[in-house]
Every structure is written in structure tokens, then in C-alpha cells.
Amino acid sequence: MLDVDERVVVRTTPDGSPLGFEWRDRQYRTTEAPLRFYTRRPWWVEQDRIQKGVGPQVLETETWRITAAGRGRSTERVFELVRDNADWVLARILG
């Protein structure tokens, strides 16, 4: 596993599922159905006050695990992309 933690530009379907992304000047496209999951954030440490209705983004992190291959390459790798509203971060490469 390789921790990356870099901002990337992600192309998605209209309902928000990633189709591919650009990282270090290389295009990657997903080769399998991506898997969405959430992990919790320690909101009682991070926040002094939480406004009513702020909800999910304070409470959990949205992560997409995708299998993708770089343009012109056939080897697939598994990436984890973290979404924060419109911003995406390539968090890590699993292998």
C-alpha cells in the first residue's frame, strides 16, 4: 500500500460515480464497477460546534475504491479516492 494524499481531477457519471481521473499528468480510467464506502470522522475532536443540518461531511468521509489502468498501460491498480464535496484526493494506492 502506498499513501499518496494528492489532489486529483476526477471524471464522474451524472450520479457521481468515478469514471477515471488524472494524476501526475497521466489519465487513468476505471476498469471495474467502483465501490463506495464511508469511514467515520472523530467529530467530537474536530468540531467545537456542529450546526443542525450540516450532517454527513462532518460525520464521515466518502471513499471510492476503484480499479483503474493508466492510459496506454494494461496493468490495473486499485486506488482509493476520497471525495470532499467537489474536491477529490487520491488517498492511497492499494496495489
* Chain positions contacting other proteins, by CB under 8 A: 33, 35-40, 42-45, 50, 52-56, 59-60, 63, 65
Instruction: Count CB neighbours of 43 within 10 A.
Output: 12
C-beta of 24 vs 39, nearer to other proteins:
39
Q: Where do we find the cell 465501490?
A: 35
C-beta of 27 vs 59, nearer to other proteins:
59
Residue 50's contacts (CB-CB under 8 Å, 6 or more residues apart) are 43, 58
C-beta of 37 vs 84, nearer to other proteins:
37
